[in-house]
Structure 1
Amino acid sequence: MADETRPGDGFLSRDDTGDERLARGKAQLARITGRSGEEVMAALADVAPDFARYIFEFGYGDIYSRPGLDLRTRLLATVAGLVCLGHAQRELEVHIGSALNCGASRQEVIETIMQMALYAGFPAALDALFVARKVFAAREEAGTPPAQG
């Protein structure tokens, strides 16, 4: 009998088509961000439509859909990685909001960013804290303040 999963993942079928991965990715993105992601596909339609599809299929359909870590943990790890990049403020803004959507508290986001000062440097952490402040303020203005953890 053939193994139905990829080595080590225990979740995704080798027979998943691109359409199945795309659908799973779109559903996962909506679960994480509260948005469909259609704006991403539309924004890239005239320049790199395949890239948008890769984001959904691989990023959200494969990686964010894997077992082993809950979405809260995955999003805090994503925030940490983006802080370390130091040049992805737009993505950091989206993923801080997504971390909050997936159960991370405001304090957990702040602590994750502060921890990255050791690895990414104080300027990167400081920039990220300003992005977090912007996300927190927007949520408060919209009537959805982040949890205080």
Structure 2
Amino acid sequence: MAQGKETADERYARGLATLEHALGDAGINHVKAFAGTAPELARLIVEFPYGDIYSRPGLDAKTRQIVTISALAALGNAAPQLRVHIFGALNVGVAKDEIIEIFMQLAVYAGFPAALNAILAAKEVFAEWDSRNVSTNIL
């Protein structure tokens, strides 16, 4: 069905499937954290980024996560979202050393504080990832 003629429930279902595929439990838990307090925001998080943007055919999931962690790290004020998307990057096959290299590259354009904060966030996520003994879901 064309995106313009679909129902809100179809858009949400596509977004939820894309969110789960891209971020796994980390993404689902992130959205659930808002559901009780701001259910409309939780629904929009699923519908717009994942139902409309992440589900587009132009980029693969790995590239989308690389772009996302780069942008979040460069912002310098989105640590919770950065951690969720580092999990997502690992989930779709971005290697730990690639993530560190992305953040090292970031130092040139966003500054050392942003890069250092991103690497510290990655360190936390890597430790949790390893403790879960999660196998990578490569697309």
State whether TM-score is above 0.5. yes
Q: Number of aligned pairs?
A: 135
Among 15, 28, 40, the residue aligned to 2:18:
28
Among 94, 101, 107, the residue aligned to 2:91:
101
State the 1:107 CA deviation. 1.3
Aligned alpha-carbon RMSD (Å): 1.9
Q: Distance in 1 between matches of 2:105 and 2:39?
A: 36
The residue aligned with 1:140 is 130
Q: Is 1:22–1:61's contact at 8 Å kept on the other side of the alignment?
A: yes
The residue aligned with 2:102 is 112
Q: Distance in 2 between matches of 1:102 and 1:108?
A: 13
Residue 143 of structure 1 aligns with an amino acid whose one-letter code is N
Q: Is 1:139–1:145's contact at 8 Å kept on the other side of the alignment?
A: no
Among 52, 63, 68, the residue aligned to 1:62:
52
Max radius of gyration: which structure?
A: 1
Where 2:127 maps in the other structure, the secondary structure is helix
Name the structure where helix makes up a greater proportion of residues: 2
The residue aligned with 1:81 is 71
Where 1:34 maps in the other structure, the secondary structure is helix
Q: Is 2:73–2:103's contact at 8 Å kept on the other side of the alignment?
A: yes
State the 1:120 CA deviation. 1.3
Q: Distance in 1 between matches of 2:82 and 2:29?
A: 19
Among 13, 17, 25, the residue aligned to 2:3:
13
Residue 65 of structure 1 aligns with an amino acid whose one-letter code is S
Q: Percent identity, aligned pairs only?
A: 48
More divergent stretch after superposition (73-82 vs 117-126): 117-126
Unaligned runs of 5+ in 2: none
Q: Is 2:31–2:45's contact at 8 Å kept on the other side of the alignment?
A: no
The residue aligned with 1:50 is 40
